[in-house]
Chains A and B, each alone.
Chain A
Amino acid sequence: MHEATIAQSVLEAISAEAKKQKARPIAAKISYGVFNAINTETLKFAFEAISKDTVCENLKLNIEQKPIKAKCKKCRATFEFDLHESKCPKCRHDDFELLPDAPLLLEEITFEDK
Chain B
Amino acid sequence: MRKVKVRKKILIANEEYAAKNRAFLKERKIPCLNVISSPGSGKTTLLAKTIETLRGKLSIGVIEGDIQTDIDAQRIRKAGAPAHQINTDGACHLSAAQISDAFHKLPIDRLDLLFVENVGNLVCPSTFDLGETDKIAVLSVPEGDDKPAKYPMIFARAAAVLINKIDILAATDFNIKKVKADISKLNKNTKIFLVSAKTGEGMKQWCDWLENMADSKRKKALKKTRPRQ
Contacts and interface: CB of A to CB of B under 8 A. Distances in A.
Interface string A68-112: 000000000000000100100000001110100101111111111
A112 B1 CA distance: 5
A9 B7 contact: no
A86 B92 CA distance: 29
Nearest to A1: B92
Contact of B9 (A36, A104, A111): A104
A55 interface: no
Given A94-B188, A98-B157, A108 B3 contact: yes
B2 A113 contact: yes
Category for how many chain B residues contact A: 20 to 34
Given A1-B92, A35-B153, A37-B123, A107 B4 contact: no
Contacts, number: 88
B2 A106 contact: no
A106 B6 CA distance: 6
Contacts of A46: none
A23 interface: yes
Interface centre among B2, B10, B189 (most CB of A within 10 A): B10
A75 to B, nearest CB: 15
B131 to A, nearest CB: 14
B188 A106 contact: no
A36 to B, nearest CB: 5
